[in-house]
Amino acid sequence: MSNIRILLPDQLGSHFHNDHQGEIVILVPFQDLWKRKMHRAKAQWWLSAILHKKEELGARCQIVECESVLDFANNFKEKASVIAPTSFANRKAFMNKDNFEKLASRGFVTSEKEFAQWFEPRKDKRLRLEDFYRHARVLHSVLVDAHDEPIGGQWNFDADNRQSPPKNQTKLDLKKAYYPVEDEIDKIARKRINDLEKDGYVFIGKDELREFAATEAEANKVFKNFIETRLNAFGPMEDASLTNDWHMAHSLMSAPLNIGLLDPMKLIKAVEKEHKNGAPIASVEGFIRQIMGWRDYVWHLYWIFGENYIKDNNYLKANNKLPEWLENLDTKNVKANCLKTIVSDLEQRAWVHHIQRLMMLGNWCMQQGINPQELVDWFDRLFIDGHPWVMAANVIGMSQYADGGKMSTKPYTSGGSYINKMSNFCGGCVYKPDVRVGKDACPFTAGYWKFLNTHKDKFAKNPRMSQGVNGLKRLKDLDQLLKEKSNTI
Ligand SMILES: Cc1cc2nc3c(=O)[nH]c(=O)nc-3n(C[C@H](O)[C@H](O)[C@H](O)COP(=O)(O)OP(=O)(O)OC[C@H]3O[C@@H](n4cnc5c(N)ncnc54)[C@H](O)[C@@H]3O)c2cc1C
Ligand code: SF4
């Protein structure tokens, strides 16, 4: 047994060290973290979490600043244990170095070994989240009865979880959520980030008051409050957006989960128990599917798809540069109400919820032909929960269809009418969701048709896209539409 445990900055929960009694070293790799134009709120929160962990562990813990994980691993000669890192680059850093005892990864529900056993016989077939998710429910005995049948009579309550938001409201009628309260350590973290900025490091966005959990205790409180105030609405409101409700009924768990503060199985068990206490099955199942299904699936696909998946996939040959207003989160000239609201929220706190990432940000970038690799870099730096492993399936696969359909049967794209159905953005917009040409044209509606037209040869062969492609022939204003520059800003 080594007497030192090395923790990477995304391995901060007690399940990363409660099997270890000796010294603990937390790495802060400068180049990997701060030299990347990270969102300021993400940098402050992450550093705060590291400093809080150090304080919690006391004298047996030290923080070691290094250029990169690779640099540290090359120069550290003592014996130490390390839990499998979450990226190819960081795993490689420890490879072939005998002084490191390498332990299996933690922080996910299904282990890499269990996933490999499920995946091996299916590796030549199309992968489906639903198949993995059902397997995981049985494997871990979650929401199943004594015969391994689903509690509630069905595996999936997706159809109940796509409700439009309530009319004439700009926020959901829910009790106020709990947010962590800052302490002295937050001030130290903020000062450190400000000092780094003076030394030439660049940060983007604002950092006013920390809203995301930076300790295990805070994350537990946020989660308890989610169960009490939001779980029941989580399912039905999963895909809805309202202008004055930045997190609707979402849990805000991804950031603490992805730096390892909480064990996901604890969340799953707590929510499963709530069903026994009367919480609706559509919300309970929907939440468990996100954590045990989607989160784990995306994690395992990162390894299965391989190291080059992100850099090598650009099926739609999208090579436009990310516009400066998005890179700098600068909305002063943005007129599209949905994009203006969402990018302002992102500037504020380095987070917007799932459907806003998919239906607005991802959809707009795909329609505009933004390069998927640039977009991966953007999501990774500017989102508080962004890490390389999350990018592969979510950005390359699901949002940008850059892998040509390895994990989605069709590109996720829509025009303004669907955004109008699922939000209240369009009422306050200078554009009209159902207009595709002229000064009122909604950028998403015009963008949708242009996108279909650009890729019609590829999409005509896809049964789930061919109807849309055929619709192009019925557009009397197609010539005009194609000539016009899309409205956005
Ligand atoms: C383009 C795009 C980029 C994304 N980037 C990230 C990212 O950088 N980091 C990240 O954790 N999630 C990412 N997601 C997934 C999802 O949007 C976030 O996990 C979610 O918005 C986090 O908010 P929440 O904790 O309130 O989630 P909730 O809506 O409350 O969901 C509960 C939990 O489920 C998990 N989850 C649900 N869907 C996914 C998913 N597709 N991938 C991974 N975990 C999931 C998260 O841990 C989340 O905390 C991305 C999705 C898209 C479409
Ligand atoms: S009209 Fe179009 S651009 Fe404006 S808010 Fe609706 S979807 Fe967004």
What are 219-255's pLDDT values in tens digits?
999 999 999 999 999 999 999 999 999 999 999 999 9
Tell me the three state secondary structure of residue 210: coil
pLDDT class of 35 with cuts at 50, 70, 90: confident
Tell me the three state secondary structure of residue 383: coil
Does the beta carbon of 337 lie inside 6 Å of ligand 2? yes
Query: Residue 475 pLDDT more than 90?
Result: yes
Q: CA 258, CA 58: separation in Å to the nearest integer? A: 23
Lowest-pLDDT choice from 123-127, 137-141, 280-284, 446-450: 123-127
For residues 73 and 98, the answer to whether their CB atoms sit within 8 Å is: no
Does the beta carbon of 338 lie inside 6 Å of ligand 2? yes
**Nearest listed ligand to the Cα of residue 249:** 1
C-alpha 423 to ligand 2 mean position (Å)? 10
Pocket test for ligand 1, best of 110, 290, 302 (most atoms within 8 A of CB): 290
For residues 15 and 263, the answer to whether their CB atoms sit within 8 Å is: yes
Does the beta carbon of 444 lie inside 6 Å of ligand 2? yes
Residue nearest to ligand 2 atom 6, measured at CA: 426
Pocket test for ligand 1, best of 252, 266, 292, 354 (most atoms within 8 A of CB): 354
Q: What pLDDT score was predicted for residue 310? A: 97
Does the beta carbon of 416 lie inside 6 Å of ligand 2? yes
The stretch 382-410 carries a mean pLDDT of: 95
Helix axes 281-288, 264-276, angle to 10 degrees: 170
Residue 322 φ/ψ, nearest 5 degrees: -65, 125
DSSP-H helix ranges across 27-128: 30-33, 40-57, 69-75, 88-94, 112-119
Residues near ligand 1 (Cβ within 6 A): 250-254, 257-258, 290-291, 294-295, 298, 353-354, 357-358, 362, 379, 383, 385-386, 390, 394-395, 398-399
**Nearest listed ligand to the Cα of residue 360:** 2
Q: What pLDDT score was predicted for residue 32? A: 85
Domains of the chain: 4-103 (3.40.50.620), 112-174+230-306 (1.25.40.80), 310-483 (1.10.579.10)
The stretch 103-132 carries a mean pLDDT of: 94
Q: CA 122, CA 432: separation in Å to the nearest integer? A: 46
Look at the chain and count its residues: 489
Tokens of residue 228, six digits: 């009490």
**Nearest listed ligand to the Cα of residue 251:** 1
C-alpha 315 to ligand 1 mean position (Å)? 24
C-alpha 329 to ligand 2 mean position (Å)? 18
Tokens of residue 23, six digits: 């010294």
Q: What pLDDT score was predicted for residue 85? A: 98
Q: CA 137, CA 286: separation in Å to the nearest integer? A: 13
Model confidence, pTM: 0.97
C-alpha 254 to ligand 1 mean position (Å)? 6
**Nearest listed ligand to the Cα of residue 425:** 2
Query: Residue 283 pLDDT more than 80?
Result: yes
C-alpha 67 to ligand 2 mean position (Å)? 44
Does the beta carbon of 413 lie inside 6 Å of ligand 2? no
C-alpha 413 to ligand 1 mean position (Å)? 18
